[in-house]
Structure formats: C-alpha cells, structure tokens
C-alpha cells in the first residue's frame, strides 16, 4: 500500500492536496539493516555471483551471501540482459535475511536501446546528441551511402569501448527533418547505425531504419544528421537527456519524467523490485560525462553549459534527483558514483556515494586525498535520514593488480576508518570459492562500534610553513597570487576570498607560496567554507563547490595510465554548512624537480574562506579504535610504524593480536598469495608501541579478552 508523507503537496482551488510517496511495503525497515548498525567492518557484495565457478547451486549462493551485510546488483534488463531466475535467487535470500541490504545497481545515465519497450517509451528528443551536420545530397529510404556536409562530426567522439577485436565502435545517428526555423521535427526522424565512415569521401554507410524506426526520404534543404551520445555496456546504450532543456514529447513529458515513472513502477506496490531497499546509480553524473555534448539541440557543442554560464545539465539532474526523493520518500536508499569531479554531489538528497576502486577504477591508492575529502564532506554534512556509502575493491590499473590483496586490505581498512561499507572482490583461493578478502569474514561486523573518531598521522607531522598558514601572517598572504579574486586576512585568522570576475561562473585561481621540500611526503591540509554556494542553488542546499588542487615540482611520472594527473592533481570540497577539513597528498615531494608550488582552482566566484593551511611533512596514515579491535591503514609508499599508545592513550591497558587465518581454509596453502595472507594474519600478539605496516596496506587487529 502507499505510504503518505506530508512533505509533498500542491494547492488546487485553494485546497492543499497531499501527494503519496512510494515506500517499499515488503522491504525490511532501513534502520534495522546491518549496514545501519554503526558496527564494522561492513561488507557488501558487488554484482555477480559471490562464488567463483560453474554449476553453483542456489543453496551454495545463499550460504556464501550470508557472509555479507548486503548486495548491490543488476536485477532488470536496462544495461545487461538479466534473467528472472537470477533476481529470484537473490530475492529469496533477501526475504530470508531481512537484516541484509539489497539495492538495485542502476546505470542512471544511459539505456540499452535494443529493448523494444525502451524504443517505444522514449521519443527521439529524449536522447543526447553530439553536434551534427547536413546532407550533401537528398536521400530516399533505400540509400545506404550518405554524403555529408561535414564528416568531422565523427572525429574525436567517444562511442563506447573498443570491440573484442580492438576496433572502435561505430555510432548510431538520428536523421531528422527541420522546420523553417531550424527546429528538429522529432516525429519526422529515423534512427540509423553507422557501418563505415569514409573521411576522404565525406560519406558514411548506414543500416537504415533501426530501433523501431522506419527508413524515410530526406532532402538537403531541411535535414540534420547527428551522432548519438552512446556507450557500450553489454550492448549499445544511449544517454538520457537529463538536462533542464530536454525536449518534451507529445504528452508534455521529458526523459526525466518517463524515467521517474519507470522507477516508481519498479519499486511501487506490486512492482518487481518492491522488496528492495533502494537504488545505487552507477553513473548518474551532476555534470556532462564527456566533452562535445549538445544538450540544448542547437547544433553547437555546449557540454551542458548555457551561453550565460548556467550548467543546464546540473540544473536538470538536480531536479530529477529531488523529484525521485520526493516520490520514493525518506525510507528509500538513493546513491550514486561520487569519486570524481563530474560525478554526484547531491548531498542531502542522496544517502551517500560509491567510491569505485578505492580512489578510482584505475587507481587503487594514488588519489587518496581526494577519497578522504569526498567522504569527509558527505559524512560531515549529509542530512538524509539514513546515510550509506561504500568503497569497492575494483582494481583496473595493471600496475595495481600484482599488489591487489594488500590494496584491498588498504581499502577495507580505510572504509572502516571512514565509517563506510566495503565491497570485496578478487580470487583468494578459498575452499568455499567466496570472492571475499579473509579479514572481512569473521562473525559479521566483528570490530563493533567505534570508540572515537579516526586519527590521522598528518595531524602530528612537521609543518613546513612553521605556522604561517595557521596564523595567516601578512607575509604569507602577500606571497599568494590571486586571479579573478581579491584576498585578505579575516579577524579570526581565516583567508577571505571574494571573486572579481564579471561572469559569476568564472573560477577563482589562488596560487600558494612555493616551498622547498628536502625529503618525504607532503600533505596539504586546510579547512574550507563556501560563504556563498553554487549559483542556482539555495544557500541551504548542501551541494559543495569544488576546489581542484594542482602541484608543480613533484617527481616526474610516466604518462602511462594518467600517472601525472593521478599524482599531481586532486580535488577538495567546500560547502555552505561550515568549514570542512580537506587534504591533498603529494608523495615523495622531496624527490621533486624544484620547489613545491600548489594552485587551487575554486569553482565559481562566490565568496569563500580558507583557514589553518598546513604543509605536513609526512605520510597519510589512518587509525581507528573499535570495541573489539583496531584498524590501521598506510597510504604511503614507505613502511610506517604506529605507536598506539600515542594515538589511543587507553590502549596501554589493551592487548591486541593479529587475525588468525588457517591454511585449511585455502585450496593451495603453498600459493604465494596465500602464504602472504597467512603471514600477515598469523594470530600473534603485537607490541602496541611498534606496529610496522608495509607500504599501501591495511591491518586489522583483534582486542584480546
């Protein structure tokens, strides 16, 4: 049945009409889930089977799933084709385990166009296109080779990952008639698939009339042809136009309107997903994902930005997410990818975020400061009734895979320190075939509740600025270079920054004084506050402004896998609720090629403040004490020694030991990976004053009774 909440209403003929919001009647209450217990470690199964191998029974799957606190997966055919029996297997497990979280992993930006129901529901104006061109010659419905005015529309465009032979994907296009004013007559159009592009002849060869459309005749005078913005995930997927200027169909509905209706049907009373607790959007971005989008359909690439500087994509996506929250109510999990600059920042609307691959899918450790910044902001300022975020164990960088188990230990330890869940993956040669790191398979959230906040090593490291950035001395402020802004010291030692550009959407650029680093790592620490939020948002909205941090003078890195960007650039966040502690971690700065020079590029022109600037000369390490143990994380490239009696003074009275793993749980105890896991987790007692942790690794310690 529908559950009525009093926060959604409109006025009709002078009467206030309450609108119902959907609450999942058959889903167990969110507050009773294990992931809401504030006990750790929490581990979520991320997509696919929890057991490796073929011929696995439903009972085996359910037994393996009992090791987890929840699951996120694809249960509908919007991206991959999902069979009914697959969903039924996990639905049975969920209903038998009402304390376990179960959410839909939903693409959120694109849709598989091969499904006839999708072709029928969404009309041509509901998709996003790249800028297009006109026809050089008129065509009839049987023509396959088409001459174009400008063949360059297919250059430098992304149409999905290469096929299995390494060849680039061919795009789909729309051929649409124009009216006398150049407007697209969407219902007089045709979809076609490109089979070949001939740049020299300025021609393309098409498969005409695809995806439920019919081949038509078109003239040179009033025809426009444009490539679809698309990706390839299990098949060709087209991007919804979720901007604030998405065209409406003949029923006055945008892509967002129809998408919201679908979601409500899936999760509403009698819907297929009624028993689930919510949605984890995979890639719903608050900015356009790639360059060259033409979201307002004027034939000119705009990347979602209007001519006056407004972010049309952000406007539309923000409205979409707010409407989704209103429809589904507060007792429904909504989350999305949030690990980079273009991804989701809808704090206060979403329950939390997914950080994919610890720092990024291709980065298991380098952008560690960005990871801390994003989760710190969400943890500190999110106001949703139920807060939930997780970090995945996905590793795609070939250089990270050989050290995969240690990096996943680092990820699991970091997640527990931050107070978020973790999703394990990888083959650990377990006899039960579970794809779960052994440190997480003790009796549920075995650490219990935190006894205090996370501690960080930079808080105790030497400040290379010798307090100038904390006091905000006159010489320190005068040594900064300010562009598009003026700066001054406030009465409480904060740096006040006011934009001076005429265009409020211009960025502020602030270059900090350079400094010589003789050895070791440097962690830039500061607190940031947006006195004025992003334009177009209310002052009470929690969407942060971004600060892109760039460093010069670091060691030279190869450009393989974007190493220069991963080491030299990071991101911080600041919002209107108050000051937020942020970090930028630059490893081996002492081995650089000159003075360390850091530049902050601050989003938009609104007034903001920064205080307590410190250049901590040391690594980032994390530690957190729990009821039944301690977790340590070393994000540096050097071994680090922890003194728990300094970090946690009460630990003098506590005896700690390593987890005890036994060879019998593994298929091959002599395997190198297994031997390393057994060596790390050998059950021995530790000296609380001297716990050495290898580079890029984590450690779980058990409190002895």
| Beta-strand pair 101-106/70-73 | parallel
Say if residue 326's pLDDT is above 60: yes
Q: Averaged over 600-624, what is the pLDDT?
A: 97
Per-residue pLDDT band at 609 (split at 50, 70, 90): very high
Write out pLDDT tens, residues 127-154: 999 999 999 999 999 999 999 999 999 9
Backbone angles phi, psi at 249, to 5 degrees: -80, -175
Q: Would you state the pLDDT for residue 421?
A: 97
Q: Averaged over 253-263, what is the pLDDT?
A: 98
Per-residue pLDDT band at 23 (split at 50, 70, 90): low
Angle, CA 165 vertex, CA 163 and CA 168 arms, to 5° = 45
Q: Tell me how crowded residue 277 is: count the other CB atoms within 10 A of its CB.
A: 27
Q: Averaged over 583-603, what is the pLDDT?
A: 95
Cα atoms in the 13 Å half-sphere on the side-chain side of 213: 27
Element (H or E) spanning 178, and its range?
strand 172-178
Q: Would you state the pLDDT for residue 561?
A: 54
Q: Across the chain, what does the average pLDDT equal?
A: 92
Per-residue pLDDT band at 458 (split at 50, 70, 90): confident
**Cβ(650)–Cβ(656) under 8 Å?**
no
**Cβ neighbours of residue 122 closer than 8 Å, sequence gap 6 or more:** 111, 240, 255, 258
Write out pLDDT tens, residues 53-93: 667 889 989 998 999 999 999 999 999 899 999 999 999 99
Q: Would you state the pLDDT for residue 457?
A: 84
**Cβ(281)–Cβ(240) under 8 Å?**
no
**Cβ(264)–Cβ(22) under 8 Å?**
yes
Share of the chain above pLDDT 90, in %: 80
Q: Would you state the pLDDT for residue 234?
A: 85
Say if residue 7's pLDDT is above 50: no
Q: Would you state the pLDDT for residue 491?
A: 95
Instruction: Give the SS3 label for residue 574.
Output: strand
Least confident of 23-27, 360-364, 493-497: 23-27
Q: Would you state the pLDDT for residue 22?
A: 60
Q: Is 558 exposed, middle or buried (0-12, 13-18, 19+ CB in 10 A)?
A: exposed
Q: Averaged over 256-267, what is the pLDDT?
A: 98
Backbone angles phi, psi at 144, to 5 degrees: -110, -35
**H helices present in 515-599, as ranges:** 563-568
Q: Averaged over 8-37, what is the pLDDT?
A: 63
Q: Would you state the pLDDT for residue 10?
A: 38
Say if residue 20's pLDDT is above 70: no
In whole angstroms, give the CA distance from residue 500 to residue 210.
52
Write out pLDDT tens, residues 362-392: 899 999 999 999 999 999 999 999 999 999 9
Q: Would you state the pLDDT for residue 15?
A: 41
In whole angstroms, give the CA distance from residue 177 to residue 159.
24
Q: Would you state the pLDDT for residue 594?
A: 87
Per-residue pLDDT band at 25 (split at 50, 70, 90): low
Say if residue 351's pLDDT is above 80: yes
Q: Tell me how crowded residue 576 is: count the other CB atoms within 10 A of its CB.
A: 22
Least confident of 6-10, 337-341, 449-453, 505-509: 6-10
Say if residue 179's pLDDT is above 90: yes
DSSP string, 394-412: ----TTTGGGHHHHHHHHH
DSSP string, 470-498: HHT-HHHHHT-EEESEEEEE-TTSPEEEE
Say if residue 562's pLDDT is above 70: no
In whole angstroms, give the CA distance from residue 376 to residue 381.
8
First to last CA, the chain: 49
Write out pLDDT tens, residues 630-686: 999 999 999 999 999 999 998 888 999 999 999 998 999 999 989 999 999 999 999
Per-residue pLDDT band at 441 (split at 50, 70, 90): confident
Q: Would you state the pLDDT for residue 50?
A: 85
Say if residue 166's pLDDT is above 90: no
Q: Would you state the pLDDT for residue 631?
A: 98
> Six-digit token pair at 275?
């028993």
Instruction: Give the SS3 label for residue 186.
Output: strand
Instruction: Give the SS3 label for residue 171.
Output: coil
266: left (phi over 0), alpha (psi -120 to 50) or beta: alpha
Q: Would you state the pLDDT for residue 5?
A: 33
Per-residue pLDDT band at 558 (split at 50, 70, 90): low
Q: Would you state the pLDDT for residue 16?
A: 40
Q: Would you state the pLDDT for residue 193?
A: 97
Q: Would you state the pLDDT for residue 563?
A: 58
> Six-digit token pair at 547?
């600060």
Angle, CA 602 vertex, CA 474 and CA 325 arms, to 5° = 135
């Amino acid at each position: 049945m529908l559950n009525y909440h009093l926060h959604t209403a409109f006025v009709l003929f002078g009467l206030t009409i309450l609108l119902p919001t959907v609450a999942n009647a058959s889903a167990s209450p969110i507050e009773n889930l294990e992931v809401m217990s504030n006990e750790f470690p929490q581990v979520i199964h991320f997509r696919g089977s929890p057991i490796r191998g073929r011929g696995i029974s439903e009972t085996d799957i359910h037994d393996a799933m009992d090791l987890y606190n929840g699951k996120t997966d694809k249960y509908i055919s919007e991206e991959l084709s999902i069979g009914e029996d697959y969903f039924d297997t996990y639905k049975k497990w969920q209903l038998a385990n009402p304390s376990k979280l179960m959410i839909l992993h939903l693409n959120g930006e694109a849709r598989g166009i091969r499904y006839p129901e999708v072709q029928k529901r969404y009309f041509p104006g509901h998709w996003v296109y790249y800028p297009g061109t006109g026809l050089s010659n008129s065509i009839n419905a049987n023509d396959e080779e088409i001459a174009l005015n400008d063949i360059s529309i297919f250059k430098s465009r992304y149409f999905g990952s290469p096929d299995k032979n390494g060849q680039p994907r061919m795009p789909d296009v729309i051929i649409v008639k124009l009216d006398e004013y150049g407007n697209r007559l969407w219902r007089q159009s045709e979809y076609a698939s490109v089979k070949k592009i001939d740049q020299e002849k300025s021609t393309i060869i098409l498969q005409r009339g695809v995806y439920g459309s019919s081949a038509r005749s078109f003239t040179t005078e009033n025809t426009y042809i444009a490539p679809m913005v698309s990706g390839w995930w299990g098949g060709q997927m087209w991007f919804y136009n979720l901007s604030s200027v998405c065209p409406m169909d003949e029923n006055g509905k945008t892509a967002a309107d129809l998408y919201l209706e679908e979601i409500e049907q899936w999760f509403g009373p009698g819907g297929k997903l009624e028993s689930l607790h919510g949605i984890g959007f995979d890639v719903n971005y608050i900015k356009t994902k790639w360059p060259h989008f033409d979201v307002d359909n004027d034939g000119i690439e705009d990347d979602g930005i209007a001519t006056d500087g407004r972010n049309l994509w952000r406007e539309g996506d923000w409205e979409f997410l707010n409407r989704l929250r209103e429809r589904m109510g507060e007792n429904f999990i909504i989350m999305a990818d949030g690990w980079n600059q273009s991804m989701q920042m809808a704090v206060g609307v979403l329950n939390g975020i997914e950080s994919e691959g610890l720092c990024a899918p291709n980065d298991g450790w380098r952008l560690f400061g960005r990871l801390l910044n994003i989760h710190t902001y969400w943890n500190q300022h999110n106001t949703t009734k139920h807060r939930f975020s997780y970090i995945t164990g996905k590793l795609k960088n070939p250089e990270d895979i050989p050290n995969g188990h240690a990096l996943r230990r680092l990820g699991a330890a970091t997640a527990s320190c931050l107070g978020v869940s973790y999703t394990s993956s990888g083959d650990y040669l377990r006899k039960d075939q579970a794809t779960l790191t052994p440190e997480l398979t003790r009796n549920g959230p075995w650490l219990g509740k935190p006894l205090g906040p996370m501690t960080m090593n930079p808080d105790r490291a030497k400040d290379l600025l010798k307090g100038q950035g904390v006091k905000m001395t006159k010489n320190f402020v005068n040594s900064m270079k300010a562009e598009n802004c003026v700066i001054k010291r406030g009465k409480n030692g904060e740096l006040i920054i006011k934009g001076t550009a005429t265009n409020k959407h211009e960025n502020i650029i602030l270059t900090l004084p350079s400094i010589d680093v003789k050895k070791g790592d440097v962690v830039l620490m500061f607190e940031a506050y947006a006195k004025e939020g992003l334009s177009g948002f209310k002052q009470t909205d929690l969407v942060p402004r971004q600060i892109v941090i760039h460093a010069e003078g670091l060691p030279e890195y190869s450009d393989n896998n974007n190493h220069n960007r991963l080491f030299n650039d990071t991101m911080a966040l600041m919002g209107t609720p108050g000051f937020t502690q942020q970090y930028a971690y630059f490893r081996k700065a002492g081995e650089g090629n000159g003075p360390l020079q850091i530049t902050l590029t601050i989003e938009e022109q609104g007034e903001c403040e920064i205080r307590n600037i410190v250049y901590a000369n040391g690594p980032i390490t994390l530690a957190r004490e729990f009821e039944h143990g301690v977790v340590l994380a070393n994000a540096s490239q050097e071994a680090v020694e922890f003194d728990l009696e300094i970090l946690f003074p009460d630990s003098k009275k506590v005896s700690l030991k390593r987890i005890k793993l036994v060879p019998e749980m593994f298929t091959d105890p002599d395997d190198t990976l297994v031997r390393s896991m057994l060596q790390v987790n050998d059950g021995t007692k530790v000296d609380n004053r001297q716990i050495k942790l290898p580079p890029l690794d984590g450690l779980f310690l058990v409190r002895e009774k």
